């Protein structure tokens, strides 16, 4: 019987997940398939029933389902519980289980690209205060960052995120701070790493409003956006001497961890797969992906 996995959300036609997981399924010789399933929150119950029945082996969830799915699940991994968001589901010991692989995907790629740049003891600036920011800041706190400063358009949302993270990480040594928006040059200059978790710089979106210092030599700039692969944020950082990390690696590494939950083996994120996805990112977009 063919194992059927999926990515669900709305809209979903843009997702590269079928290409990524299809590559690993073929590489490992699995009798399996991976499809996009357009799903809104009011359709979520029907999708989950198919997972519980075994019709679907497991899947990924994206906007707007990452938070909406939680009340329907039997178990959450500790990471997903702290983040309040799930991107991977599967049946484990007869229980519908949810995980969030985004954090570990983020740090797996960072470690691969810059193995000598641990976050431990470093000051990090995070741009944005949404779900992706929460996940990455959780990971930074877990790994012993000296401080995390949050800059976001909405001060109220920043305050809410700081309060929530402080409550869920009691006893941590990481200091949580706030920065003004737009981001000033002096804020960029004093942080070892700057992470963009917003959609600004994505295709169709305006660039980040940043007052850049003249040089950022040796500082790390990580953008979780992967379309375009080199965002204006990364291009500016590189031109000023920064070390840049693009969002495609995070996408691939979080996908590999999800694959491991379904099939028991975490596949290798290699250059062949990355080249395949890069080529697709620069190809003319079809009117609608099948």
CA distance 67 to 260: 22
Quote the distance between the C-alpha of residue 145 and its chain's center.
19
* Dist CA 68 CA 163 (whole Å): 22
User: Could you tell me the CA-to-CA distances from 20 to 2, 32, 119, 252, 267 in Å, in that order?
Assistant: 18, 13, 28, 7, 11
Is residue 203 annotated as a catalytic residue, yes or no? no
User: Of 66, 92, 177, 203, which is the active-site residue?
Assistant: 66
β-pairing verdict for 88-92 and 95-99:
antiparallel
Please confirm whether the linkage preceding 64 is cis (ω < 30° from 0).
yes
Give the C-alpha separation, 118 to 258, whole Å. 24
Of the candidates 151, 147, 130, 123, which has an alpha carbon nearest to the alpha carbon of residue 210? 151
As annotated, the active-site residues are 66
């Amino acid at each position: 019987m063919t194992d059927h996995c999926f990515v669900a959300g709305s809209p979903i036609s843009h997702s590269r997940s079928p290409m990524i997981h299809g590559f690993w399924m073929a590489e490992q010789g699995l009798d399996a398939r991976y499809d996009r399933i357009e799903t809104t929150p009011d359709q979520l119950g029907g999708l989950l029933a198919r997972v519980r029945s075994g019709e679907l082996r497991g899947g990924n969830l994206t906007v707007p389902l990452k938070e909406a799915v939680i009340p329907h699940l039997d178990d959450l991994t500790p990471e997903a519980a702290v983040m309040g968001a799930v991107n991977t589901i599967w049946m484990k010991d007869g229980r519908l289980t949810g995980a969030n692989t985004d954090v570990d995907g983020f740090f797996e790629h960072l470690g691969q690209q810059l193995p000598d740049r641990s976050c431990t003891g470093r000051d990090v600036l995070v741009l944005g205060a949404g779900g992706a920011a929460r996940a990455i800041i959780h990971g930074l706190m877990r790994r012993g960052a000296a401080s995390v400063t949050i800059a976001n358009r909405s001060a109220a949302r920043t305050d809410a995120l700081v309060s929530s993270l402080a409550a869920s990480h009691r006893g941590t040594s990481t200091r949580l701070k706030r920065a003004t928006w737009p981001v000033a040059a002096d804020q960029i200059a004093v942080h070892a790493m700057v992470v963009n978790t917003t959609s600004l710089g994505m295709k169709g979106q305006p660039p980040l409003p940043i007052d850049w210092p003249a040089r950022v030599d040796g500082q790390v700039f990580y953008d979780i956006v992967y379309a375009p692969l080199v965002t204006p944020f990364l291009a500016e950082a590189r031109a000023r001497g920064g070390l840049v990390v693009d969002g495609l690696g995070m996408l691939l590494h979080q996908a590999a961890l999800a694959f491991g939950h379904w099939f028991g083996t975490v596949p290798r994120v290699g250059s062949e797969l990355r080249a395949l996805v890069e080529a697709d990112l620069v190809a003319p977009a079809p009117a609608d992906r099948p």
